[in-house]
Amino acid sequence: MSIEIIEQELRQYVGIEPTLRREERLQYLMVIFNKHFELEKLEHSINYQDFASVVSLAVAAYPKSVQPFRISGKEVHQSESNHVLIMEAFVSYLNKNKLLRRLVRFNFTR
């Protein structure tokens, strides 16, 4: 199902909408919306390769990291630095795969 087909169906709907009863309009629109949601895939499954990639990214970032971390002006205890790196790698994964509506990043301060 391509975006062009959905656009065509919406144009068809606009043309016949005045002749449809309220229930028919809702059913027609729901079919189009469901096709759109199917196209955008509301669900994303993370497989083992994705998990390993996130962990690898965090491990590679550790030697380059400047510690102690400061997030929003507050120092993060060194025992929690691994958690911060994993979370940052996971957010990076989400951003890279366009799974977030907004770019998310940590507010690291010095």
How close are the terminal C-alpha atoms of the chain, in Å?
49
pLDDT above 90: residue 55: yes
* Range 87-94 average pLDDT: 89
Q: Which DSSP symbol is given to 73? A: T
pTM over 0.85: no
**DSSP-derived 3-state class of residue 8:** helix
> Hey, which of 8-17, 34-43, 96-105 has the most confident mean pLDDT?
8-17
Sole residue written with tokens 């656009």? 7
Range(s) of the domain holding residue 56: 48-96
What is the predicted pLDDT for the residue at 2? 67
Do residues 63 and 81 both lie within one domain?
A: yes
Q: Which of the pair, 32 or 103, is modelled with greater confidence? A: 32
Q: How many independent structural domains does the chain possess?
A: 2
Same domain, 53 and 91: yes
- Beta bridge partners, 108, equal 71
Residue among 88, 86, 93, 94 at smallest CA distance from 107:
88
- Give mean pLDDT, residues 28-40: 72
Residue 102 lies in a domain: no
